[in-house]
Structure 1
Amino acid sequence: MSDRTPTPSSDSTPHASLGDSLAVGWDERGDELPPSDWGRRTGARRTGTVWLFALFITAMAVAHAWLSDQLTSEAFLAWATVFTAISFQALPFLVFGVALSAALTAFVPASVYQRFFPSRPSAAVPVAGLSGALLPGCECASVPIAGSLVKRGVAPAAALTFLLAAPAINPVVMIATAVAFAGQPEMVLARFGASLLASVVIGWIWVRFGRADWLRLPTPTHAEGAGRWVVFRDSMLHDMMHAGGYLVVGALAAASLNIFVPREWLGSVAEAPVISVLVMAALAILLSICSEADAFVALSFTDFSPTAKLAFMVIGPMVDLKLIAMQAAVFGWRFAVRFAPLCLVVGLLSTFVIGGLLL
């Protein structure tokens, strides 16, 4: 039997041992074993991770024991209730929107969008606004869908118009508004008209004044040439991680502001025509209520005028805390800090015009 040191080619022979195979290739001669400290650094990192995790669990246990008596106040319970309600109310629609967005990206060819939307952005804007009336969902669903439309070659102005119109005038929202304001069809018509008008005007403004460097185009989340199901999976995971994280951040901010704004402040401004509209618009931004439930909340503000209630339902689906955060996640903060004020101003003007005509 030969006792030669294995050569680099010996690991391919049937009788080569696993140890011989691992030992080969550590230097140019292939005749030395790995360094004596091989594997120790990896083990140290794993041990450090275990200790860090154990420290985290211990800190959680100590914090729970120390704060258990402090976290039962009415304010904290109200904050937790609002945060949980916003998160769980929006999450199903976010998942629906992300799944639909991923499906559009993976399975619908770009040529379909090019045939559906006019080639001129100014003509595509009203088409996108009206198409928003066909898709049930809230603002959490519309943001990833709008990002998918941009990725598929739709003009950004048309995609943004759809983003604003879909959560405000879709069938579910219109039915919920009709149920909340039973016997007041003018309120349903006013919401549809004011929201559609604001969405289309904002789209046309973006056509005229929007700049490409303000809008961060969504980047592909998959390798070129990947299969459709791989594209679907990667797109859904990417959008869910980004939009979901920002949804939680927005819900935290909305819950905090919801608790810190005293209700008695509202009664003192309810009778001022213009101020009451502005206050209700501000509440819509701060409370961040899903568009499919905001009509019932608006109805609860009995001291406010119909136009002020309309402002609550028009502004909320266009600009609120969680929506701003999600828009920043998809299109970037340079876009969000410009788009949100534009939506607020145009939405208020549309509310005053339509409210003055119909209410």
Structure 2
Amino acid sequence: MNSAPPTRPADTKRRVGSLEVLLFSLIALAVSAGAMSAFVAGDPRLSTAATVFCGVFVQALPFLVLGVVVSGLIAAFVSAERLSRWLPRRPALAVALAGIGGAALPGCECGSVPVARRLFGPGTNGAAALTFMLSAPAINPVVLVATAVAFPGQPALVLARCAASLATAVVMGMLWSRFGRDAWVTRDLPEPPAEGSSRWTVFSEAARHDFLQAASYLVVGAAAAAAMRVLVPAWVFEHLAGNLIVGVVTMGLLAVVLALCSEADAFVAASLTMLPLVPRLVFLVVGPAFDVKLAAMQAGMFGRQFAVRFGPVTFVVATVIATAVGLALLGGGT
């Protein structure tokens, strides 16, 4: 009688994952830093693009870390079901509460995306999470103080930015509660740890997943912003000051392609003294709501079907509301 073949031991070889790829990439960049610096320094356009890329990435990274820490804490302590019990049943009240609550997260848009993904749930919960995602990077105290410092003696601009950004977030939340579809969110959260796992395990796994997911798309968005910076001619600004509509549209598009951190964009807007305040307000409201890095991060965290619908509508809503609020509170001032 033939004996059964011996059972092969289970294959326990560890696969190379995203964390290992990130570490290998960082080591490779560190080793080749000298050669890359010499190559980039020899071309002014490459040097400009590298500066923009590093500026966008370095500005956003600390707030991205803050965001994924918060998202990890949410995964460990707050479920979407629990959040839905805390929120008012009426969609309008839930969205308004989430919009105002965005002031409590002192971070930028890169940190709010993973937090919103953790909070996202069906129905009212999803609308509130998206409202929070848009309001947090635009109306938190750090951003408003930075705006006041960048525009000294112009408190009306700070008020206009807060009002227009909050209105944009609330309107988008209401639009999602009315027309949004949960099926558009095609990216799933990672499988939860085994039942009985400690809260530290849940926190660390969620934070690691969200950081690697969001950081990879942040790199894509920062690269797109760097490429667009060197492709936009300097003479464009000379044709904006005389036409409000052209100035508003152009500054909105510029906010999309430059992808500045919401803590730093006020200083860029303040430097554009050749433009009226209204186009500069549009720049400040559109940027934290929709830009190339946010589009990439939302595609990574929520899915492409969500990103291609939510992003363009956000751009239109933010531009229209910022223009209306600017005309009402700022007039045609410079």
What TM-score range do you get, normalising by the shorter chain?
0.7 to 0.9
| 1:355 shift after superposition | 0.7
Structure 2 Cα separation of the partners of residues 106 and 283 of structure 1: 38
- The answer for the alignment partner of 2:248 in structure 1 is 277
- The answer for the alignment partner of 1:332 in structure 2 is 303
Q: Does the Cα contact within 8 Å between 2:167 and 2:321 map onto a contact in 1?
A: yes
Structure 2 Cα separation of the partners of residues 215 and 196 of structure 1: 24
Residue 320, structure 1, aligned to residue 287, structure 2: no
One of 243, 248, 259 as aligned partner of 1:288: 259
Q: Does the Cα contact within 8 Å between 1:114 and 1:153 map onto a contact in 2?
A: no
Identity of aligned residues (%): 47
- The answer for the alignment partner of 1:263 in structure 2 is 234
Specify the code of the residue in structure 1 equivalent to 2:129.
Answer: A
TM-score norm. by structure 1 comes to: 0.80
- The answer for the alignment partner of 1:99 in structure 2 is 69
One of 54, 75, 79 as aligned partner of 2:49: 79
Structure 1 Cα separation of the partners of residues 99 and 218 of structure 2: 24
Structure 2 Cα separation of the partners of residues 67 and 171 of structure 1: 37
Structure 2 Cα separation of the partners of residues 344 and 207 of structure 1: 18
Residue 196, structure 1, aligned to residue 172, structure 2: no
1:1-12 alignment runs, 5 A limit: none
**Helix, strand or coil at the partner of 2:267:** helix
CA distance 1:258–1:119, change in 2 (3 Å): same
| 1:219 shift after superposition | 2.1
Residue 135, structure 1, aligned to residue 77, structure 2: no
Q: Does the Cα contact within 8 Å between 1:105 and 1:152 map onto a contact in 2?
A: no
Greater relative contact order structure (CA < 8 Å, 6+ sep): 2
- The answer for the alignment partner of 2:202 in structure 1 is 231
- The answer for the alignment partner of 1:172 in structure 2 is 142
Specify the code of the residue in structure 1 equivalent to 2:226.
Answer: A
One of 298, 302, 308 as aligned partner of 2:279: 308
Structure 2 Cα separation of the partners of residues 357 and 306 of structure 1: 12
Q: Does the Cα contact within 8 Å between 1:221 and 1:235 map onto a contact in 2?
A: no
**Helix, strand or coil at the partner of 2:83:** helix
| 1:185 shift after superposition | 0.4
| 1:125 shift after superposition | 0.4
Could you tell me which runs of 5 or more consecutive residues in structure 1 were left unpaired when the two chains were aligned.
1-25, 35-41, 43-52
Could you tell me which runs of 5 or more consecutive residues in structure 2 were left unpaired when the two chains were aligned.
14-23
Structure 2 Cα separation of the partners of residues 242 and 84 of structure 1: 19
Specify the code of the residue in structure 1 equivalent to 2:110.
Answer: C
What is the total number of aligned residue pairs between the two structures? 308
Aligned-pair Cα RMSD in Å: 2.6
CA distance 1:77–1:113, change in 2 (3 Å): same
Question: Whose Rg is larger?
Answer: 1
| 1:227 shift after superposition | 2.1
TM-score norm. by structure 2 comes to: 0.86
CA distance 1:342–1:29, change in 2 (3 Å): closer
CA distance 1:357–1:213, change in 2 (3 Å): same
